[in-house]
Structure 1
């Protein structure tokens, strides 16, 4: 029988599932002019459709009109709407009000309220709901169990309720009917929290497993860098999909066994772009940049369509190799509309051009980028400073503050680096002081190192010593090395010797500091002392590496 020939009350539920807002208003008129408005099922479906369309004000109006005939279906529909669209607090208010209206929440009410508690981070109310669920005897319902599990996991993850992982496990154990999806979820949660042994025990208890179960456990071993267990599990898997192969490749690569990782990659029966990206990014993360570019060429030759992660890995390899022409080819032939492709790819382009020496093109791309996040600004500020364009770097920092961007640790590292290389002493001190005062960012030892370097480069050794004395960290080799650099500028051998004593206590293998002291003695014609410094390097097996040109190699601003 066609829909048109059905009685209107029977055809309305199907119509409500697919109607637009204009049609919904017409249906509302029909309900108001007929007795159908007294049918709770239709009223609840009407409110549900209004909330699905995001029309919360309209849903609230209809809900208030239906209040004269309260029904749990209608209240559940409104609670669901608030859970999806907000404000989430209203889910909690409606639950509290239901008993006053003579309504009893059911198994369809609680999942939405628990989801609202999770979004709000309301630990206390969530625990109260759990108690109500137990009292109502519906804690065995899978949808409620899943929502409770999600609530406790999120509370643990956000550190709002320490020990929630244990509570989540109790919920899981209390479920009489556990789907394989819930087993997999619990294993994945243990893996996510780094509790691999609990994940393994649960995995072994499973009455049945699917490929997701095996992959969850495999990813746990890979995360824990337990490559031997990962290999054993991989070999025992009854079914392997592309996720299984890719996880194992990452595990082998992360353990440093690139030959085995590449062999496994070449043996994969089916590869997707994620598999290629895994191998590609593994090469770049471990400094195998030429191999990364070779693999990228093979990927292109095989006709695999790259994505943003592919471009980031390939451009990073170009940046470290100084392969400007390859980077430009990737930019103009493959990325093309890179300015529209998102902050991550745009930042990789900026960094690639900057590291390869083309700072003008890097700045041009940065300016034209549609989406720029704080990391992109950090990269650009640092790149300008290294290329000697310190004033431009300072202007960008001022723009960041005016634009209301959320500055982070690396922002201040970048701008302090710029101040240090531009001689902006007072500006640098003010920026350092503003970190905690204005931005509530606690300076790390790296920030103190930048400040010491700034002062030492401008012959303000006494102030630098005072900073070292008052900083809440034990100075590391970078801090003492910065002070040594200042000693060289003023040829202060006495202070240099004290700094070297502290560096020796750190038992560092940084040959540069010994070479610096040796050169200082030689510059003062104190040849015996210069030879002693060189002998110390030889005795400790330390050798100063030859310098090489690589722009932006100083630090990763992200």
Structure 2
């Protein structure tokens, strides 16, 4: 990669002032029809000496352009801006054709704006072609193309453009560096991000808001919270985005209490939080299970006008569920007119937790039924279940021993393609096992495209619980053969399988393997398996000796 260029100036770098002032009154008096397009969407048509003014919509303006009407250069920008507002790629392409026909393709300002339009419409190939055709490339053009790649989830392409810009000899600005740092965050390119950080310090622009915000994101994403905090503290003018980033960074790096302190400091500096700041704060209240602070944040959100905001409601409902306030969560859920998939997933998972805490089997069954009713409502409401939905509802079917409902959900995972997901596949194996269908559990395990340690361990335990010792031990050997390292829970299943079959020598062999080969220290569960084995064999004296 080219090294960052040196720069002889000081202070904050700014985008080049290569913009123009366009006056709506500057109309051409050529004999050919001419239209002008100010931001008020008013067109002025001149025909010889007579002059008439009328209102024209965007589509009519495009049709006039197709007819060959000439448009002033100064009014391409409002038309192109309308393409962005409408996300109209076809309109941008029509204007691009017109720009080429009228010779305006030599105009750097218009073409740079066209790069931005194509990027905003998601047509990065078109944006790249326009950029390549620019008569000259200034830092605005380079930054526009980079930002387009970042916004279209192509951070690797953005980094490549950044490297090209440096080799070209163009000097990055604060906006360029912010965009490059965002791309580094997406790719976890910490070392490159540190180089850009060093450049910003050298030329005294690390205090810039856009650079500082991007640095906070980068260091947070790369699990370097202290560096993120230092970058945040360097920002000269912290806006709500700056505060939201650092609050979220603390939450993402398991420092919820510190995040809430930053949130309090933000309020003390009279910075008004937005919905993302509030949801981050509520998320940390969930982590800490702090209802008191969460209630205060909820009151603040209502005061600021976010009481009906769906993100806020979801966060409050999840807080209630995490803190065991199931009745309050139910009341909030039942009173919600608008819902999202997150809302329903949270409530389904909440009912699953309520089943575990139920006082009797009837209450647990009732909670499970409510969860399945919400799942049915989710399907009928047009929402598409995701992997979290399926894993939660399959777990509930396991607890209810609801084989028929589990089979229906299995069919739905096949249809939607989620069966290949390891979380859903593992939940399916557990469901069939709990319902006593070891054959279907085994089939679901074999159908999984990828398997984790949890998947292997679940299937080993399933074979053990159903008295299929040889299959459990063979699967354990298969797991070792493919390079999956067993853990304490895996060996509990293996020792339990040996115990059920009375395989004393094999059990002690696996116990020795656990300690010598995998450096796992035996715990009470392992010894319990051995004791159970000797009890089954009627060898109580051997139990005391060992």
Deviation at 1:185, TM superposition (A): 0.9
**Aligned pair 1:244/2:208, yes or no?**
no
1:544 and 1:137 mapped to 2: Cα distance?
80
Give deviations 1:459-498, integer Å, cap 9, x for gaps. Answer: 11111112233x2614333332332332243233222112
The answer to whether the 8 Å contact 2:282/2:316 transfers is yes
1:289 and 1:115 mapped to 2: Cα distance?
43
Quickly say closer, same or farther: Cα 1:70–1:350, change in 2 above 3 A. Answer: farther
Quickly say closer, same or farther: Cα 1:421–1:299, change in 2 above 3 A. Answer: farther
Kindly report which structure 2 residues correspond to 1:70-219, keeping only aligned pairs within 5 A, or say none. Answer: 78=56, 81-82=58-59, 95-96=65-66, 98-99=67-68, 103=69, 107=73, 108=75, 112=79, 119=87, 130=96, 133-142=99-108, 144-146=110-112, 148-150=114-116, 152-153=118-119, 157=122, 164-165=124-125, 167-176=126-135, 180-192=139-151, 193-194=154-155, 195=157, 196-203=159-166, 205=168, 210-219=173-182
Q: Give TM-score scaled by structure 1 length.
A: 0.71
Kindly report which structure 2 residues correspond to 1:71-470, keeping only aligned pairs within 5 A, or say none. Answer: 78=56, 81-82=58-59, 95-96=65-66, 98-99=67-68, 103=69, 107=73, 108=75, 112=79, 119=87, 130=96, 133-142=99-108, 144-146=110-112, 148-150=114-116, 152-153=118-119, 157=122, 164-165=124-125, 167-176=126-135, 180-192=139-151, 193-194=154-155, 195=157, 196-203=159-166, 205=168, 210-223=173-186, 224-226=189-191, 227-239=193-205, 240-300=207-267, 304-332=271-299, 340-388=307-355, 389-435=367-413, 437=415, 443-469=420-446
Deviation at 1:115, TM superposition (A): 6.6
Quickly say closer, same or farther: Cα 1:334–1:128, change in 2 above 3 A. Answer: closer
Quickly say closer, same or farther: Cα 1:141–1:242, change in 2 above 3 A. Answer: same
Deviation at 1:382, TM superposition (A): 1.8
Deviation at 1:234, TM superposition (A): 2.5
Q: Give the corresponding residue for 2:472.
A: 496
2:92 and 2:522 mapped to 1: Cα distance?
60
Deviation at 1:360, TM superposition (A): 2.1
1:545 and 1:429 mapped to 2: Cα distance?
37
Kindly report which structure 2 residues correspond to 1:6-45, keeping only aligned pairs within 5 A, or say none. Answer: none
Quickly say closer, same or farther: Cα 1:336–1:362, change in 2 above 3 A. Answer: farther
Give deviations 1:114-146, integer Å, cap 9, x for gaps. Answer: 975993555xx9767645543432212346424
1:443 and 1:265 mapped to 2: Cα distance?
41
User: Any unmatched runs of 5+ in structure 2?
Assistant: 1-23, 26-32, 356-366, 526-546
The answer to whether the 8 Å contact 2:80/2:117 transfers is no
Deviation at 1:206, TM superposition (A): 6.2
2:520 and 2:379 mapped to 1: Cα distance?
44
Give the aligned length. Answer: 472
Q: Give the corresponding residue for 1:8.
A: none
Higher helix fraction (1 or 2) = 1
Give deviations 1:71-110, integer Å, cap 9, x for gaps. Answer: 9x999974x523xxxxxxx7765554x15xxx45665579
The answer to whether the 8 Å contact 1:324/1:356 transfers is yes
Q: Give the corresponding residue for 1:30.
A: none
RMSD between superposed Cα atoms in Å: 4.2
The answer to whether the 8 Å contact 1:190/1:198 transfers is no
2:164 and 2:226 mapped to 1: Cα distance?
32
Give deviations 1:157-187, integer Å, cap 9, x for gaps. Answer: 47xxxxx44x533422433466654332123
Give deviations 1:43-67, integer Å, cap 9, x for gaps. Answer: 988x986x68xxxxxx9xxx9xx99
Q: Give TM-score scaled by structure 2 length.
A: 0.72
User: Any unmatched runs of 5+ in structure 1?
Assistant: 1-12, 15-39, 53-58, 83-89, 159-163, 548-558
1:377 and 1:282 mapped to 2: Cα distance?
26
Deviation at 1:396, TM superposition (A): 0.8
Quickly say closer, same or farther: Cα 1:126–1:249, change in 2 above 3 A. Answer: closer
1:180 and 1:136 mapped to 2: Cα distance?
26
Quickly say closer, same or farther: Cα 1:413–1:280, change in 2 above 3 A. Answer: same
